[in-house]
Chains A and B, each alone.
Chain A
């Protein structure tokens, strides 16, 4: 039996411009019913038909899990990306029918925690919006530290501070402010869990300091979705289905397979969940591994690839799909 998610038919109920870079999208069920309940940290995969190109991008749910009349996501425009965020910013309008996946949570709170210490960078704030709403309703202890480029780009910074007061701290790059990481990490009671969502440089920095200061890995959680990177086109033979396909510059290998009618299972489409792991039958060339699922040894061995984010350059590649 394969795993995967069920789809939801939704309509775009509202689109709100949050600032120069970020828009918020509100989804409601087309049949007017309630959406499924979810847990803070969950994401949905949003399906888009961009001309001939289907795009499926994961976005964290930021609305309160206590209110399932609608789901909201916030999307930062990525002018250099493959076009998913541009499509949402420029082509989607209120009233439009869309399809999203059921919520999946790969960035769950550890409910054993005596306290939750959350560190956000930029648009990485979105899962924490849902998690803080969930925790404050349950009386859970948390502290949120949010690093932004400028006050104008501090999406939801003001709302969070007015909702939670001193439990939320903002740090502005343009004012030279930085999260006082070592001091924070040294001041937490035993049983605290740490959560990080932001650019990979920030995740690496926080994980590194936490490990050095004696935080066990079990207490450190991070959201590390990679967006699939564009790259040189390449050709792949799918041995099990007897097809040879071309992966375009702006397309992921997974998307190219789907376009050819081959459907590997997926949950995250961001190199984290492990569902689409695919065996390599033979290859002559170099893998560009971009996932966080396979180990470094597995990356070197070149016997597996995660088609949602990883690419290939070389003469020939045959996969067991």
Chain B
């Protein structure tokens, strides 16, 4: 039995919602009642059945609708998908990674047949059935990175490794938490993270880079990051900030439950074999406050995290305008009882 894909929107009428099973598998990012930046990187190994970590590349009930939203974003702004000329090989690496992972994990939805460099790819949920020559750009309707990431949830950064650093030289970014690929493309690891407060001083990026430079083929790693978004909007890009920014003024005690969303990024890190580059898939999961507080533990913990968050981090994550309203609303779901350690619901 396969996944039942929801038909829903991430704009205009915002019909996005999680099914009860998807609420339970939500990757809640706080393992304790407070939050500070850390190099929270761990091996990307298979997690429990049914969790977002069961498969190396997760496909869920929002897949088809997310891909429709991505197509809308790219039609409006093609600069969301860019690749510097030397990154085409890394694009083929990514295509191979995503096709093989999807076909292996979800054979009822995807299949890949390889005969040397003649490949046959079938994506049933999106109605795609293409034969192409691996390595020959002319045999695909888009470049390899764009072709496969129009069929893959999450943003993707393709990084070139050279001179002891990582360079963001290609990517597709349509569901981002407020950073611009068009502006950051070509930057090194420290430069594109430059606007993040506090973490540089704590040496976070130096240690993270050292780790990432040594990620080896066949041994991917992952970490979680989070922010909050008003309405279940995937495209919270700086490009469109003047369009979605006013949403932040619309939060009231009455609408917190369905307007405010916790947004979790599952970032994974993979060595690419032909290009010796890395790919960072950045997968976004959304959950409304109403959905989240169905877990008592998550409700208590999120209240404490948001309440005690340092102001700089709250400002960087764009919470300032509605933080007090949110804390007030969450406090009603926190009886002060202790929470158990770890990520999972009770």
A residues whose Cβ falls under 8 Å from a Cβ of B: 1, 3-6, 36-39, 41-42, 65, 102-105, 108, 110-112, 134, 137-138, 218, 267, 273, 275
Contact = CB atoms under 8 A, between A and B. Distances in A.
A36 B274 CA distance: 10
Given A1-B42, A39-B273, A108-B162, A102 B211 contact: no
Given A1-B42, A36-B273, 20 more contacts: A1-B211, A3-B214, A4-B216, A5-B219, A6-B219, A36-B217, A37-B273, A37-B274, A38-B217, A38-B274, A39-B275, A39-B276, A65-B274, A102-B216, A102-B218, A104-B216, A105-B276, A108-B276, A134-B274, A275-B214
28 contacts: A1-B41, A1-B43, A3-B216, A5-B216, A5-B218, A6-B216, A36-B217, A36-B218, A36-B273, A37-B93, A37-B96, A37-B273, A38-B273, A39-B273, A39-B274, A39-B276, A41-B276, A42-B276, A65-B274, A102-B218, A103-B273, A111-B87, A111-B89, A111-B160, A111-B275, A112-B162, A138-B89, A267-B214
Contact of A3 (B96, B211, B273, B276): B211
Contacts of B321: none
Contacts of A3: 211, 214-216, 219
A111 B214 contact: no
B254 interface: no
Nearest to A5: B216
A134 B92 CA distance: 14
Contacts of A218: 162-163
Judged by DSSP, the binding face of A is loop
B161 interface: yes
Interface residues of B, number: 26
A65 B135 CA distance: 13
**Which of B89, B160, B163, B217 gathers most chain A CB within 10 Å?**
B217
B45 to A, nearest CB: 11
A126 to B, nearest CB: 17
Nearest to A4: B216
A41 to B, nearest CB: 8
A105 B273 CA distance: 9
Given A1-B221, A6-B216, A6-B218, A111 B273 contact: no
A3 B212 CA distance: 9
Contact of A267 (B93, B163, B216, B275): B216
B131 interface: no
Contacts of B216: 3-6, 102, 104, 267
A174 B221 CA distance: 51
Nearest to B90: A111
A104 B271 CA distance: 10
Interface string B76-111: 000000001011010001001000000000000000
A1 B221 CA distance: 9
